[in-house]
C-alpha cells in the first residue's frame, strides 16, 4: 500500500472513537497506521534498498504479536486497555493492507515467504508508476474517499 495507511488509520480512529470510549483514539490510530513504515528510513539510509523493508521486524506480524502479548497484560486493568487494543488493531490493519500487493511475512519465524494477495507487474518502468497505474490502486482511492467522507461529516 502506497498512500492509504494514514487515511485507513483515520477511518479506524473515527469508527472506534464513535463506538467506544477510547482515550487518545485518533492520535494513536494515526500513529499506528504509519508506524511500521518508519522502517523506510533504515531501508533508504542504512540498507540502501538492499532488503525489502517488509522483511524488517516492524513489518512482521509475529513481532507485534509478541509485543502485544507482553504489553496487554500490564495494560489490561488500566484505562489504556482500549487504546492499546486499538493500537494493535491498526498495526494489524497496516499489515493486512500491505498484504494486498506488497507481501508480508505472515509465516515468520517459520517461513521467510512474503505472502501477497496479488502481484503488481513492473509494467511502467518505475515501481511507483506500476503501483499507481495498477487496478489495485483503486482500493487506495476507495480508502481515501471513505476517509474524506468521514472527515466531511465531522
Ligand atoms: Zn508498510
For residue 77, report the distance from its CA to the centre of ligand 1, in Å.
Answer: 31
Give me ligand 1 centre to Cα 35, in Å: 8
Domain that holds residue 40: 5-153
- Distance (Å) from CA 130 to ligand 1 centroid: 17
Sign of the alpha-carbon torsion through 43, 45, 46, 49: positive
Indicate the number of domains in the chain. 1
Which residues have CB under 8 Å from 45's CB, separation 6+? none
Angle among Cα 101, 105, 106 to the nearest 5 degrees reads: 100
pTM of the model: 0.93
Per-residue pLDDT tens digits of the chain, which is 154 residues long: 889 999 999 999 999 999 999 999 999 999 999 999 999 999 999 999 999 999 999 999 999 999 999 999 999 999 999 999 999 999 999 999 999 988 999 999 999 999 999 998 888 889 889 889 999 999 999 999 999 999 999 8
DSSP state of 34: H
CA of 33 relative to ligand 1 center, distance in Å:
9
Strand partners, 104: 115
Ligand 1 centroid distance, CA of 2 (Å): 8
Tell the residue number behind the cell numbers 463506538, with chain if given.
19
Amino acid at each position: 500500500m502506497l498512500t492509504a495507511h494514514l487515511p485507513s488509520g483515520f477511518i479506524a480512529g473515527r469508527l472506534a472513537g464513535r463506538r467506544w470510549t477510547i482515550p487518545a483514539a485518533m492520535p494513536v490510530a494515526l500513529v499506528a497506521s504509519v508506524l511500521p513504515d518508519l522502517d523506510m528510513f533504515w531501508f533508504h539510509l542504512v540498507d540502501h534498498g538492499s532488503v525489502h523493508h517488509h522483511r524488517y521486524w516492524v513489518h512482521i506480524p509475529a513481532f507485534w504479536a509478541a509485543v502485544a502479548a507482553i504489553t496487554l497484560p500490564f495494560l489490561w486493568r488500566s484505562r489504556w486497555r482500549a487504546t492499546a487494543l486499538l493500537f494493535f488493531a491498526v498495526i494489524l490493519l497496516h499489515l493486512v493492507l500491505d498484504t494486498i500487493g506488497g507481501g508480508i511475512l505472515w509465516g515468520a519465524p517459520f517461513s521467510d515467504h512474503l505472502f501477497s494477495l496479488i502481484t503488481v507487474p513492473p509494467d511502467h518502468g518505475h515501481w511507483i508508476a506500476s503501483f499507481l497505474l495498477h487496478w489495485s490502486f483503486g482500493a487506495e482511492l476507495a480508502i481515501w474517499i471513505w476517509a474524506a467522507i468521514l472527515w466531511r461529516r465531522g
